[in-house]
Amino acid sequence: MGGNVGESLIAKSFREIAFAPLRTNSNPPGAPREPKVRPPVSEGDTVREVDKHRRTIQAIFERRANIPWADIEKMLIHKGAEVSEGSGSRVRIAFKGVRAVFHRPHPRKEADRGAVAAMHRFLVEAGIDAGGGEKGGEEDDLQGL
């Protein structure tokens, strides 16, 4: 009789685990995710953060390879872009009326030259120059690019 009690406890715990509801994201399947948006430079931004974003923009305009994708996303959010997750490794970005879809690099975490070139075109279309500011009526530093 003692063996049956043990077996029923095992069977019960198995049923609790096997048929427990799965944990899911807060968004139901197919529902759009909330974009990540951050207001432009505020008092809370440290000099280090602003400098890192400036260096990321410079690296993109110099078309360097192996720029960490997380740094690119953080810079875009800092500048005021809306970044939202697409399906798979896709990332949708809307910035100053310009929209694009990029593929988050994997398995590596760094953007290759092709992704950097695409990001460079995106930033130029959005009116961002190599210094990280908006293009104005004055001469652009990127004439040779």
What is the reported pLDDT for 46? Answer: 74
Q: Quick one: pLDDT at residue 13? A: 60
Per-residue burial over 13-39, b if 16 or more Cβ lie within 10 Å, else e, is eeeeeeeeeeeeeeeeeeeeeeeeebe
> What is residue 61's predicted lDDT score, i.e. its pLDDT?
94
Q: Establish if 29 belongs to a structural domain.
A: no
The residues of the chain scoring below 70 in pLDDT are: 1-45, 134-145
Beta bridge partners of 98: 95
Predicted TM-score (pTM) of this structure: 0.62
Total number of domains constituting the chain? 1
Query: What single DSSP character describes residue 137?
Result: S
Residue 53's domain comprises 39-125
The pLDDT value given to residue 144: 36
The answer to whether residue 111 sits within a structural domain is: yes
Q: What per-residue confidence (pLDDT) applies to 142?
A: 37
E strands, 3-116, where?
Answer: 67-68, 82-85, 90-95, 98-103, 110-111
CB atoms within 10 A of CB 122: 19
Answer yes or no: is 143 within a domain. no
Instruction: Answer yes or no: is 81 within a domain.
Output: yes
Contact indicator for 90, 102 with CB cutoff of 8 Å: yes
Residue 52 lies in a domain: yes
